[in-house]
Amino acid sequence: MAHVQVVFFWFAYLLYAGGFVCFAYFLFSRRELQDRLGMACVAAGWLLETMALAARWVEAGHAPVVGGYESMATLSWAIVAVYLILAWRTRVKALGLYVVPAALVFLTIAWGRYAPPAHLVPALKSDIVVIHVGMIFTALAAFLVAGGAALIYLVEDIALKRRHIGPVLGRLPSLRTLDQLVGHAVMTGLPFLSMGIAAGAIRAEKFGVEHWWRDAVVALAVIAWAIYAGFVYARLAAGWTGRRTAWLAIAGLVCLLAIRLVAVPYLSGFHVWGK
Amino acid sequence: MHLVVTGISHKTAPLELRERLALPCDEAARFGRRLLDAGPAAEAVVLTTCNRTEVYLFADDTLAAGRLAVERLAALAGVDPAELRAAAYQKSGDDAIAHLFRVAASLDSLVVGEAQIVAQLKDAYRAACGEGCTSTVFNKLFRHALEVGKRVRSETAIGERPVSVSSVAVDLARQVLGKLERRVVLVLGAGETSELTVRHLQAHGAGAVVVVNRTLAKAEELAARCHGRAVCLDELDAQLVAADIVISSTGSRDFVVDRARFAEIMRRRRRRPVFVIDIAVPRDFEPAVGRLEGCYLYDIDDLQGVVAANRDQRERQVAQAERIVAEELARMNEWLASLEVVPTIAQLRSAIDGIREAELERMAGPLGTLSPAQRAQVEQLTTSIVNKILHLPTVRMKELAAERDVSVYVDALRRLFDLDEVAPVPARDGDAAAGAAGAALPRTASADCALPTPAADAAPPAPPAPFVSPAQAS
């Protein structure tokens, strides 16, 4: 089973990379063909990654969310899933330029932390943990997409403001489209983040973790939640759009990435499993 | 028979002459019909656009056919024939085909890469079909030309980016605001470029148009033409708050809108994005306005910079497009050459077969004693000898069809075997040669003109059934 998994992962990796090359080429050539080819590559890679994760699930006997390897691989899978849905619904494919490399980075990190499946520690043998992780990952994927759209928005905004029109015109999605995408993605992610944090809190209480609220991961997650809540308020009530909300989306994402890339590996808290 | 094209274009004739020769599509086709009825040509297509009027003819005597076309064209337009002759160009053979392909690829257009020409060519061809002016060669040639046009557009970036200020403005507006449906357009000052830009915006779905001008009468004039509404200058601030797209081109010496005034307007808009093009010289908007959040301000230089860059980019695609044209010209010539070979092989075969039958006839007496079975064997034997002899020359001729000097071989065959003098290519009204090759060649019929033809006609015509020998068939 492990072999199958590895082969699937590698092919998924190659397909994502191929998809990214297509998207990058599309930016210069603006041919529909490369765009479609890129989408096809990413979709095929995602299917392979799904199969690889399924294989891992069968091998480990539990959902593949324990330890660096599994959680990073699942995260990249979730990002691409969210991207595929959004690209299909909104036809904003240029996002692939950001989302696909992000997925590749997470896959690379996952490979660096490859470990055979670990046995579940008692603390993780719980349905509520699966809900917690599932919710958080969905939220993270949505926020990553939002952050990417926000980043592209800011770059395009600066280019248009400085009148560097040529490189942008007709290549990137319009500012309005990106702005709406940021809004939709954040508003999709926030309920999942809320539920994920709630599920985690419930589990921590039940399991009797002392001072769980002082954990760096929890603190960063709450800060991110506050930023996104502020985003939704500013957008709906105060009528903020464009640059300001884009910065908020990026700030929230930085907090979330800090959890995954800094807090979990370096600031040891109770969230470190499968090491 | 050869191809010839004669006519005028923006490169050879002034506008006054071009306008007089600009015929509507159906009238042009009827003109082609009358030319064919007059004699010298077998097929005709007349292409007229605002930049060119040209007549494509397929004729034995290309010079005479071209001359007649120019004379008739002059008579039709009421122009002095000498004047038209001076402005007209005439190309024949490969040059004519290359010319048609370059026209279809919009390489010969005023604005290289413009998209309309393919549709105009298609219309001209359709109309000519409707009048029964096309047959085997032109059906193939014009469909091929349309394919060339499509190929150049899809394989090069020649027509991708806009090359006029107003269309760049529209693209830019869409880059900022997304879809333009229901977007409010404010026109400040009434200039020609403003009007053109408004029309472009409306073509992309823009909503209400509001015209503000110092003199209300002028504003009302423009508003009437754009189905908009005129407003006097006092209301400018309120209109700036409401608008999504602002086009400004007043004759004012000073800034009409400065930074402080527009900052207040942006506040009232709650920083809802606004797209401003200031095409006035001197400018109407203080440049600092463009630094306000949510305001995207461009002046005439910004737009012209994009136009110039896009033009350069098109020019860079020309070489690639010319390569495609050359490739397609070679393919077309292959097809034309094979057209020449097919009837010759057919005649050769029927001539030899004629000899065989005549000899059998001559020996009817001595052979009369044979049983039917033996008689059949003799038939089979002689047929097989003929087939064996003809097999190699047939194969060779078909191979040679791709070569440029195939006509030498065609000519040699004709002389050596004393084949009847028959036109190598079937003429429109279907003479003997057309009968020989007609089985495999598309004939003039309205069904033939159905466009587009994916892959149809892509290969040279298959040889007519009679000379597919048993050896070839295997």
For position A123, what pLDDT does the model report? Answer: 60
Decide if B226 is catalytic: no
Handedness of CA B77, B79, B82, B86 (dihedral sign): negative
Residue A110 shares a structural domain with residue A129: no
User: DSSP string covering B245-260, please?
Assistant: EEEE----SS-SB-HH
Asked if residue B171 lies in contact with residue B67, where contact means CB atoms within 8 angstroms, the answer is: no
Q: Does A90 touch chain B (CB under 8 A)?
A: no
- For residue B299, which phi and psi values (nearest 5 degrees)? -105, 180
Q: Does A33 touch chain B (CB under 8 A)?
A: no
Looking at per-residue pLDDT, the higher value among A192 and B166 belongs to A192
Mean pLDDT of all residues in A201-210: 78
For position B404, what pLDDT does the model report? Answer: 63
* Domain boundaries along the sequence of chain B: 2-161+313-322, 165-306, 330-473
* B273:A163 CB<8 A: no
- Tokens coding B201: 């915006």
Cis peptide before B452 (omega within 30 of 0): yes
Asked if residue A271 lies in contact with residue A254, where contact means CB atoms within 8 angstroms, the answer is: no
Tokens 């000898």 correspond to B385
- Answer whether B2-161+313-322 and B165-306 agree in fold: no
- Tokens coding B297: 């301000």
Q: Does B204 touch chain A (CB under 8 A)?
A: no
Distance between terminal CA atoms of chain A? 22
For position B436, what pLDDT does the model report? Answer: 39
For position B61, what pLDDT does the model report? Answer: 85
Final residue before a domain boundary, out of A118, A144, A176: A118
Asked if residue A200 lies in contact with residue A131, where contact means CB atoms within 8 angstroms, the answer is: no
Asked if residue B299 lies in contact with residue B249, where contact means CB atoms within 8 angstroms, the answer is: no
Residue A162 shares a structural domain with residue A240: yes
Residue A206 shares a structural domain with residue A272: yes
A-contacting residues of B 276-315, CB under 8 Å? 290-291, 293-294, 296, 298, 302, 305-306, 309
Domain count, chain A: 2
Q: What is the mean pLDDT of chain A?
A: 81
Residue A127 shares a structural domain with residue A256: yes
Domain extent, residue A153, equals 120-275
Which residue in A100, A75, A87 sits closest to A260, CA to CA? A75
Looking at per-residue pLDDT, the higher value among A3 and B450 belongs to A3
Residues 6 or more apart in contact with residue B61 via CB below 8 angstroms: B40
Neighbours of B376 (CB within 10 A): 11
Residue A186 shares a structural domain with residue A136: yes
Residues 6 or more apart in contact with residue B41 via CB below 8 angstroms: B35, B57, B58, B59, B65, B69
Neighbours of B173 (CB within 10 A): 27
For position A78, what pLDDT does the model report? Answer: 87
Residues 6 or more apart in contact with residue B131 via CB below 8 angstroms: B29, B30, B32, B33
pLDDT of B383 > 90? The answer is: yes
Helix (H) / strand (E) element for B213: namely: strand B209-213
For position B429, what pLDDT does the model report? Answer: 39
For position B457, what pLDDT does the model report? Answer: 40
pLDDT of B20 > 90? The answer is: no
Residue pLDDT, tens place only, B408-458: 788 888 888 887 654 444 433 333 333 333 333 333 344 444 454 444 344
Which residue in A143, A132, A258 sits closest to A189, CA to CA? A143
Region label for A170, one of left (φ > 0), alpha (ψ between -120 and 50) or beta (otherwise)? left
pLDDT of B345 > 90? The answer is: no
- For residue B320, which phi and psi values (nearest 5 degrees)? -65, -40
Q: How far apart are alpha carbons B437 and A71 in whole angstroms?
A: 72
For position B443, what pLDDT does the model report? Answer: 37
- DSSP, collapsed to helix, strand or coil, labels residue A19 as helix
Looking at per-residue pLDDT, the higher value among A214 and B229 belongs to B229
Q: What is the mean pLDDT of chain B?
A: 82
Note the CATH number of domain B165-306.
3.40.50.720
Residue A132 shares a structural domain with residue A261: yes
- DSSP, collapsed to helix, strand or coil, labels residue B179 as coil
Looking at per-residue pLDDT, the higher value among B88 and A123 belongs to B88
For position A227, what pLDDT does the model report? Answer: 94
Final residue before a domain boundary, out of A103, A118, A133: A118
Q: How far apart are alpha carbons B392 and A54 in whole angstroms?
A: 64
For position A125, what pLDDT does the model report? Answer: 66
Residue pLDDT, tens place only, A86-120: 777 766 667 777 788 888 888 888 888 777 776 66
Residue A129 shares a structural domain with residue A256: yes
Final residue before a domain boundary, out of A77, A100, A118: A118
- Give me the half-sphere count of Cα atoms (radius 13 Å) on the Cβ side of residue B353: 14
Q: Kindly report the CATH class assigned to B2-161+313-322.
A: alpha beta
* B302:A170 CB<8 A: no
CA distance to partner chain A, nearest, from residue B58 (Å): 38
% of chain A surpassing 90 pLDDT: 12
- DSSP, collapsed to helix, strand or coil, labels residue B175 as helix
Residue A172 shares a structural domain with residue A188: yes
Residue A198 shares a structural domain with residue A108: no
- DSSP, collapsed to helix, strand or coil, labels residue B230 as strand
Residue pLDDT, tens place only, B36-78: 888 788 899 999 888 899 999 998 888 888 889 999 989 888 8
pLDDT band at B279 (very low <50, low <70, confident <90, very high): confident
Looking at per-residue pLDDT, the higher value among A209 and B163 belongs to B163
Q: Which of A170-179, B170-179, B254-263, B418-427 comes out lowest in average pLDDT?
A: B418-427
Q: Which of B50, B133, B226, B295 is catalytic?
A: B50
Tokens 């595929």 correspond to A84
Looking at per-residue pLDDT, the higher value among B190 and B386 belongs to B386
Mutate to test the interface with B, among A26, A30, A169, A247 (most CBs of B within 10 A): A169
Q: Does B270 touch chain A (CB under 8 A)?
A: yes
Q: How far apart are alpha carbons B381 and B472 in whole angstroms?
A: 17
Mean pLDDT of all residues in A225-247: 88
- Tokens coding A188: 């999709």
User: DSSP string covering B258-319, please?
Assistant: -HHHHHHHHHHTTT--EEEEE--SS-SB-GGGGGSTTEEEEEHHHHHHHHHHHHHHHHHHHH
Asked if residue A229 lies in contact with residue A194, where contact means CB atoms within 8 angstroms, the answer is: no
* B270:A239 CB<8 A: yes
Q: Does A169 touch chain B (CB under 8 A)?
A: yes
Residue A85 shares a structural domain with residue A139: no
Residue A77 shares a structural domain with residue A129: no
* B294:A160 CB<8 A: no
* A242:B270 CB<8 A: no
pLDDT band at A267 (very low <50, low <70, confident <90, very high): low
Out of A156, A166, A180, whose CB is closest to B306? A166
Cis peptide before B343 (omega within 30 of 0): no
B-contacting residues of A 108-167, CB under 8 Å? 156, 160-161, 163, 165-166
Which residues face B2 on adjacent strands? B59
Q: How far apart are alpha carbons B71 and B74 in whole angstroms?
A: 5
Q: How far apart are alpha carbons B47 and B77 in whole angstroms?
A: 15
Mean pLDDT of all residues in A198-221: 79
Residue A127 shares a structural domain with residue A19: no
* B272:A243 CB<8 A: no
Q: How far apart are alpha carbons B48 and B66 in whole angstroms?
A: 16
pLDDT of B191 > 50? The answer is: yes
